[in-house]
Amino acid sequence: MTLPLEIRGLSAGYGRKTVIRGIELSVEPGEVFGLIGLNGAGKTTLIKAILGLSRAEGQATIFGLPYGPPAGRAQLAYLPEKFQPSPLLKGWEFLSLTLAYYRQKLDREAALALCRGLDLDLAALDRGGRTYSKGMGQKLGLVATLLTGLPLLILDEPMSGLDPRARIMLKDRLLEYRGSGKTVFFSSHILADIEEICDRIAVMHGGRLIFLGRPAELLERAGGVNLERAFLAAIEAADSSFETPPDGGSSG
Ligand code: ATP
């Protein structure tokens, strides 16, 4: 079976600074996988490493292809954190251009359905990105990413900036995406969302992976009334077991 994502002994950083070390994880086809960790834990660095956007050593494959060359990325669509569309392009133009980057034609009916499915005002599609609120820009980026229909979605904090209704709608869209046998890998600080929709999660702390498994397993192992409490307990346990405190980014 070819895994959407398989990471073995991956370290990554910026310039001479290594910020994540020895990451080992694999993501199964048809799962929603959540990446969680405190600010600065290394989630975005890991995502950027997979995409070839930060300096990395070690092995990673995307559907069996090495992660460095562009061919490895052909099967995935990515939405960065704090996404904002171009202020100059109208919504429709942005969607067409994004799909063209993925060598796809825009399906306007599918786009309209997704806009409705994420509560994005359809009239906004005829307006320039500069008129969008933060959440509207995020929704347009999500529409573009979901429209690709690619087998793997990598989303960095996709819920940020969304109101509660849009967050619930996005969770439904992600579960639908999984329902069609595809894979979603995303980071988030909203642990209630993670607990609700993720099949498995990884907890990063101080640039390392300290937990990999089902949300229920983290609850069992770390204790706590909900995933947020279990997450904090796991972080505290990891801190007390480190020989030296994590520096979150020592050189090396
Ligand atoms: P957050 O939840 O705040 O988004 P994160 O888990 O995504 O955090 P990263 O953005 O991966 O964390 O940052 C991990 C470490 O890498 C931090 O110590 C940060 O200062 C450092 N870092 C991030 N981007 C750069 C960069 N471009 N150059 C140098 N260091 C960076």
* Rg of the chain, C-alpha, whole Å: 18
Return the CATH number of the domain spanning residue range 1-75+153-163+184-246: 3.40.50.300
* Confidence at residue 7, expressed as pLDDT on a 0 to 100 scale: 96
Distance 43 CA to ligand 1 centre (A): 8
Show me where the domains of the chain are located.
Answer: 1-75+153-163+184-246, 82-150
Is the distance from CB of 47 to CB of 83 less than 8 angstroms? no
| Burial class of residue 151, CB neighbours in 10 A (0-12, 13-18, 19+) | buried
Q: Which of 11, 17, 43, 45 to mutate to test the pocket of ligand 1 (most atoms within 8 A of CB)?
A: 45
* Confidence at residue 249, expressed as pLDDT on a 0 to 100 scale: 46
Average pLDDT per consecutive 10 residues, the chain (252 residues; last block may be shorter): 93 94 96 96 95 91 89 92 92 96 95 96 94 95 97 96 95 94 95 95 96 94 86 92 55 38
In sequence order, what are the residues at sequence separation of 6 or more whose Cβ sits closer than 8 angstroms to the Cβ of residue 83? Answer: 137, 138, 141
Q: Which of 10, 11, 14 to mutate to test the pocket of ligand 1 (most atoms within 8 A of CB)?
A: 14
* Confidence at residue 250, expressed as pLDDT on a 0 to 100 scale: 44
